[in-house]
Amino acid sequence: MRSGTALVAAAAVYFTAEFIAAAAWTNPPYSYTYHFISNLGVHGPATAFGQYMYSPLAWVMNTGFILFGLAALTGVVLLEGLSRGRRVATLATAVLLAAGSVVVALFPGSGDTGTADYHGLGAVVAFVSGNVLVILLGSSHALLGFSRRLGRALVALGIAGLASIVAYRAATSAGFLIGLAERGIIYPFLIGFILVGTALRKRGS
């Protein structure tokens, strides 16, 4: 149950922090479809990457990034039933996700010299590792004690998230629906964490 609770909490923390930070950004209103997610972690006011950034509660988003990563890592550490090889692979991926999330928070995406590269690296690591982690969890469904159907759904979510990286790059180049494409990368593994966490809680893991 502890593992499942931590994974559900990870997604809940992220969604809550995002909602609160976005709601506080009112002039002009934050757009979930246009603005980069990272803009929510930039207090500003600033302009970078062709977008105006002003997030009054940037600290909420950055705290959310950190807590999300740590909660996801905790959930994986507490998993029971994995073989040694799968546990090493899953744990290593979770460590990368947590590290990427922390780097994103510590180096906000304001475009400042000296921080942009770290922020971008942290984001890429989090994008990839989060979706790979969901795929690994889905492929380990028998060991973790949930259905093959859910396992397949998790793998599909992870693949969709990875595929969305291509759409995100295209959207960034075009300056169109950037936020929507970026959420197409992140939301699949967040949903995956909720599904896994709920399944684990039902079986008491």
pTM listed for this prediction: 0.94
SS3 59: helix
Check: CB of residue 192 under 8 Å from CB of residue 138: yes
Residue 6 tokens read as 């931590």
Residue 144 tokens read as 């973790």
Distance CA 89, CA 76 (A): 11
Amino acid at 170: A
Amino acid at 81: G
Model confidence pLDDT, tens digit, residues 17-52: 999 999 999 888 999 999 999 999 998 888 877 888
Distance CA 23, CA 26 (A): 7
- Structural domain for 152, as ranges: 2-202
Q: How many domains does the chain have?
A: 1
Model confidence pLDDT, tens digit, residues 133-186: 999 999 999 999 999 999 999 999 999 999 999 999 999 888 889 999 999 999
Place of tokens 């988003």: 61
Residue 76 tokens read as 């994986």
